[in-house]
Amino acid sequence: MVWGPPPAAQILGRRDDPGQTLEGAPQGDAMRAIVLSAGQGKRLLPLTAEIPKCLLPVDGNRNVLQLQLEALARCGISRATVVSGFGVERVERFLAGMPPIGLDVDCLFNPFFAVSDNLATCWVAREAMCEDFVLLNGDTLFEAGVLRRLLASPPAPIRVAIDHKDAYDEDDMKVSLDDDGRLVAIGKALKPEIVHGESIGMLCFRGAGVRRFRAAVERAMRRPEALRAWYLSVVNSLAQEGCVETASIRGMWWREIDSHEDLAGVRQSLGSRPAGRARAAGG
């Protein structure tokens, strides 16, 4: 693998190479993806005054959601459920008019988007949690190798993609691991001395993990504090049962878009390398 600046074209492929696929990507799993895109993205105002964050352009005219869906299709995902909220009509129009990419997409609406966090958005998609699936935050962009590594990891009920860096800030969704790399705890308020990485907002659920997560989400939504809770609080609880593994994507490119600075950085990264050179870097 060639290391260097973020591999822009490798993230999702380019318009000049629409047939590109990833060698070695799992193609037969009939895996579903659930993309949580209900938020407005208030930290990006005024850009998101009318347009939801997932529809902000980041690579020419291509927006966040389009890049995510193209990446999922290229990695063998066959179906995607997008959970929208703010600007749902715009999201539905975009999906209806998006060129075919070999991926069946449906859209669900979270009517609580204005007063809830992403646990409720996850709960809205519970009926889609009937088979193995990947859960993806609607503001996470990534090079294709990230998803490849998560899907190629040894099967586990629940597996969280994590990255590592020298220091973590208060916004990072930090993780604590045991000696075997199994998740012990996940949350923004973990003490620095027990932090071993951060969640990138991408998880894979298989077999019993699908049922356990869905049931745990349904239980959590009955609590008074549910509307202000993150779905990763459910994963934190399941980690206490020893069923949550991790997959390190150290050295691979991914970005979370929360702020204007994040958005500018992503746009610069995606336009920073010629397509040919980026494809040569591998997944």
Domain 28-158+201-226+255-280, architecture per CATH: Alpha-Beta Complex (3.90)
Q: Where are the beta strands (DSSP E) in the chain?
A: 32-37, 57-59, 62-63, 79-84, 104-109, 133-137, 140-142, 158-163, 174-177, 183-187, 197-205, 244-248, 254-256
Predicted pLDDT at 101:
87
Domain chopping of the chain, boundaries: 28-158+201-226+255-280
Structure tokens at 131: 């088979």
- 102 Cβ contact partners less than 8 Å away, ≥ 6 residues apart: 73
Residues of the chain with pLDDT under 50: 1-28, 273-283
Predicted pLDDT at 99:
85
Predicted pLDDT at 146:
96
